[in-house]
Structure 1
């Protein structure tokens, strides 16, 4: 900036922004203290507005990216239902735009409202928002996971691409404004910055499809996670298990059936535990607290007191008894498992130890024959076994476990005493070998003629293999047909009893009075239980089964109207539904909690929040619902409203900084960055708690930060550089920059788009160092705990505190540099 400020500030008479101050010069005469309070409250109110309209915007994006289509698999000759949008592409394009729209539009609007001169607010908000997203949102997500549970990033190849490119993006930002063309951005740099965005999408898509691979998935990957979950089998245990059982279990089977630590169970394990609690009472604890110190069992009295009156340390045990391993896995067909028990120490002694079995998810008498008794180690005997019979059944089920405990170890002579070793409890996992059931339907497509009155269609669902009780969920989903107009929603649970191999799902087709083309909707079967699955060769693959129901109109009576509606490209059913939903938007905006009856009576806080946001709710009810044009109309209209609110935020943030004598840079990296990022914080916390992986919570942060640079700076840089190259070096431009050190260099040739990189470049360097440190911390958590999020309680707190402190250091250092720069620009 110039050495002596000659421009009129936004908060001074004669100054102003795009839309504010609301009362013009009269407002500029108000006391600064009063204006500061009003502007801060107004800024908070605008943050509520941008959060509200951004939710509508994200709803439109969700509608757009959830579209599905049927494609032909040439190898099988069958049609499969797939998403139109690839998930990775959707996350880095529309989803990233949805979460970053305020920051991106703020940067563009600031440029347009500032006569195409670069400002501090937009670019600084992008860097400040990136810092808050990476440091603070990561800290929140780490803490959101229950103690001793973890969430890890599943799509590691995509994450590595976006993480590396996000660091390179901010390095590129620093190079442009501080090194390559210092304090200046030319057309080439602006366009290249923008073109990095499609390059990022292409690389991430290639990684998603497996064309770019940094980490190859193998059958032992799951076992690796088990190891990091602190439940592992040593090589000795593996060898003993194979020897004792006479059967070899693959790494994949072990990972699948043993890799369920009691503190981090699979969804099926939780379901099994709940089932057992209902039908068998409360299950026993799956893990007994182990004493890793020697706990001596001495048949005599307590150790004698020392002459000083204190207790002496217990002597070292002469013999120690423990299991040969903590975990053992057997197939249910093994018949007999021999659990090894070892005796170490003085082998000349006779040692006795009691043993017993207790239930886990496996039940004695049903899955195994419980044994108990006393084991005696005669002199020179170092190892014995506990023989337990495993009972085979014909019902497919999840793997189950039980436990064997050693207690009351004692020595038969007075030459020493015996103690239990650190492994006094062994876990035995019984791996089911029964053929799992496969749930399927006869046809992927069901043709239904249009009806003049309601009609019930029954879809037959079958299962093959297996004989136990299995179930799955079913639900209908809109295609071009509309729920409530073309068909009645169907949702529920299908259950196959013992020896039951077929059932039916009833769906009501509603009488239609419209004249349209063929319409379709889907019946989706998912979440199979009882170790059942779906046929991978049918529509939906191994995770679900999809049946497409096609409604065919009667051509004879509807020919002319059919052609007319098809030519107009209108889905009249969706349009009518849109009309109703649009009306409901206005009604729901007047009701607390949107009129949701299930939310219960509103609290005082909810009433206050409702009254504060009521004007915004009514205003944004103008936005068309997602039922029109496949969600695109809602997308563009809500984007316009985000632009309007962002323009107000730009003006109000400038006013706040002006009346508080705070540089725009500090306002941007604190108030504005926090306000625009808080909705993402709550969304990420919810994703961390509810999603089984960390991709949706922190995995997308790096991609969003990259998009911020490539779009949030690439767009205004391209616009600004092209504008000044076309209009040249105007008198106003020369007056603005004439006192800059590089003015003589800039004041030649075409017009230059000036982006002063002092504070921005310094902030980018601090952020980049912190970003590298943050990613390193998350990498260490993956290696130590098996996941980036969660872990032991103390470690979670330490990680979160460290990440928040990194953000505080970034804000403090960047703010100090900005204040120093502002002090240097004060007129002497």
Structure 2
């Protein structure tokens, strides 16, 4: 028998084990001990596999029987061959490692005892928000309690300089402790809407200045402006969650919101306005049909890659061996370049459908 990595990794989540199981006469059950590495995680859910190999007979008499021809075997020897051990129908099992209920209950009781304020992740005043906005985050991130925080890196300073305007801008949003967080939610949505409008106008003016068509501007600069924040959100979900569900689901969810809500609400308001004044609101389709066809085709390839990554060698949709990880990233980036190239060529009439 031997253990095999699934989402659990040998040395990190469990102790790699391999060996032999010896069954004595009249013995039908054996236990395979597997060491689990303790990890005090509130929502631990990883899995590994245990695979059994073909049984081997440790019997000199049986070995002599195997070397005989069938016509040389006696009745007793034929019966012995029929009763030799064989591998069953289920030679491989999956073992799930979950955190103990005692640990989860202890954490729940501590949270309930200390109250929600003890585990609050929000700021309580505008002063704290502006202080966080102008402060450079340490290399280890926020919330570290294991020793002193490391000094910010050069990349951290560069990112801080590039984003300090947006940090200060959103520091004006009311703290989440005010009015049960409703003011924070409303003002956040308002600022996001303002920034979206500004990005859309800037992209449109830039495309007009350099001579790009609106369709090309939409799938390049406008799409990048809305997708980059979603990419960072997926990265945070991938780091903090035990599974890739939220990270991958955020990709389709955010795009659905951008398309159905961002475009649908604007078009609905325009249609109602024109209908109220007795007019019709008409949007030329342009090359929308071609772009949707290319997108759906490439989406099938992307889904196929995610399914292939669920094999035991990789272990999941995200991460995995370094070579496969970068190869998958390059493939996904290549799909985006192909989509961008084909849609641009069709928009300028280089190719037709």
TM range (shorter): 0.5 to 0.7
Indicate the larger mover: 614-623 or 634-643: 614-623
Aligned twin of 2:249: 699
CA–CA separation in structure 2 for the residues paired with 1:243 and 1:668: 74
1:487-509 Cα offsets, whole Å, 9 max, x none, are: xx59xxxxxxxxxxxxxxxxxxx
Match of 1:770 among 292, 298, 302: 298
Match of 1:585 among 121, 129, 136: 129
1:288-344 Cα offsets, whole Å, 9 max, x none, are: xxxxxxxxxxxxxxxxxxxxxxxxxxxxxxxxxxxxx9638xxxxxxxxxx95348x
Given that residues 244 and 318 in structure 2 are in contact (C-alpha distance below 8 angstroms), is that contact kept between their aligned partners in structure 1?
A: yes
Given that residues 204 and 214 in structure 2 are in contact (C-alpha distance below 8 angstroms), is that contact kept between their aligned partners in structure 1?
A: yes
Given that residues 230 and 254 in structure 2 are in contact (C-alpha distance below 8 angstroms), is that contact kept between their aligned partners in structure 1?
A: no
Given that residues 590 and 618 in structure 1 are in contact (C-alpha distance below 8 angstroms), is that contact kept between their aligned partners in structure 2?
A: yes
Match of 2:64 among 371, 375, 380: 380
Aligned-pair distance for 1:722? 1.4
Work out which structure has the larger RCO, using CA pairs closer than 8 Å and 6 or more positions apart in sequence.
1
Aligned twin of 2:74: none
Aligned twin of 1:246: 28
1:645-674 Cα offsets, whole Å, 9 max, x none, are: 222212211121122111222222122222
2:56 alignment partner, SS class: strand
Aligned twin of 2:56: 341
Once the two structures are superposed, the pairs formed by residues 799-810 of structure 1 within 5 Å of their partners are 799-810=328-339
Given that residues 215 and 347 in structure 2 are in contact (C-alpha distance below 8 angstroms), is that contact kept between their aligned partners in structure 1?
A: yes
Aligned twin of 1:779: 307
Once the two structures are superposed, the pairs formed by residues 109-124 of structure 1 within 5 Å of their partners are none
Aligned-pair distance for 1:637? 0.6
Aligned-pair distance for 1:380? 0.2
Match of 2:340 among 811, 817, 828: 811
Aligned-pair distance for 1:809? 0.8
Aligned twin of 2:276: 726
Given that residues 725 and 752 in structure 1 are in contact (C-alpha distance below 8 angstroms), is that contact kept between their aligned partners in structure 2?
A: yes
Given that residues 150 and 790 in structure 1 are in contact (C-alpha distance below 8 angstroms), is that contact kept between their aligned partners in structure 2?
A: no
Aligned-pair distance for 1:715? 1.2
Given that residues 230 and 251 in structure 2 are in contact (C-alpha distance below 8 angstroms), is that contact kept between their aligned partners in structure 1?
A: no
Given that residues 6 and 312 in structure 2 are in contact (C-alpha distance below 8 angstroms), is that contact kept between their aligned partners in structure 1?
A: no
CA–CA separation in structure 2 for the residues paired with 1:599 and 1:724: 58
Change (3 A) 1:473 1:812: same
CA–CA separation in structure 2 for the residues paired with 1:602 and 1:781: 35
Change (3 A) 1:689 1:619: closer
Structure 1: tracts of 5 or more residues without a match = 1-147, 152-230, 232-236, 250-256, 261-267, 273-324, 329-338, 344-374, 384-428, 432-436, 441-460, 462-471, 484-488, 491-520, 522-576, 729-750, 822-828
TM-score, normalised by the number of residues in structure 1: 0.30
Given that residues 230 and 250 in structure 2 are in contact (C-alpha distance below 8 angstroms), is that contact kept between their aligned partners in structure 1?
A: no
Asked which structure has the greater CA Rg, the reply is 1
Aligned twin of 2:88: none
Aligned-pair distance for 1:810? 0.5
Aligned-pair distance for 1:244? 7.1
CA–CA separation in structure 2 for the residues paired with 1:243 and 1:819: 80
CA–CA separation in structure 2 for the residues paired with 1:620 and 1:694: 29
Once the two structures are superposed, the pairs formed by residues 356-505 of structure 1 within 5 Å of their partners are 380=64, 439=102, 473=107, 476-477=110-111, 483=117, 489=118
Aligned-pair distance for 1:613? 3.0
CA–CA separation in structure 2 for the residues paired with 1:687 and 1:482: 22
CA–CA separation in structure 2 for the residues paired with 1:641 and 1:781: 38
Aligned twin of 1:677: 227
Given that residues 582 and 624 in structure 1 are in contact (C-alpha distance below 8 angstroms), is that contact kept between their aligned partners in structure 2?
A: yes
CA–CA separation in structure 2 for the residues paired with 1:721 and 1:243: 83
2:176 alignment partner, SS class: coil
Aligned-pair distance for 1:814? 0.5
Aligned-pair distance for 1:767? 0.8
Match of 1:754 among 282, 290, 307: 282
Aligned-pair distance for 1:473? 4.6
Given that residues 126 and 171 in structure 2 are in contact (C-alpha distance below 8 angstroms), is that contact kept between their aligned partners in structure 1?
A: yes
Aligned-pair distance for 1:376? 6.7
Aligned twin of 1:613: 163
Given that residues 342 and 382 in structure 1 are in contact (C-alpha distance below 8 angstroms), is that contact kept between their aligned partners in structure 2?
A: no
CA RMSD, 1 decimal = 4.5
Match of 1:660 among 210, 214, 223: 210
Given that residues 242 and 248 in structure 1 are in contact (C-alpha distance below 8 angstroms), is that contact kept between their aligned partners in structure 2?
A: no
CA–CA separation in structure 2 for the residues paired with 1:714 and 1:777: 31
Q: Which has the higher strand share?
A: 1
Structure 2: tracts of 5 or more residues without a match = 9-16, 40-49, 68-92
1:179-230 Cα offsets, whole Å, 9 max, x none, are: xxxxxxxxxxxxxxxxxxxxxxxxxxxxxxxxxxxxxxxxxxxxxxxxxxxx
1:541-580 Cα offsets, whole Å, 9 max, x none, are: xxxxxxxxxxxxxxxxxxxxxxxxxxxxxxxxxxxx97x5
2:173 alignment partner, SS class: coil
CA–CA separation in structure 1 for the residues paired with 2:318 and 2:169: 39
Aligned twin of 1:541: none
Q: Which has the higher helix share?
A: 2
Aligned-pair distance for 1:706? 2.8
1:631 lines up with 2:181 in the alignment = yes
Aligned twin of 1:711: 261
CA–CA separation in structure 1 for the residues paired with 2:336 and 2:294: 10
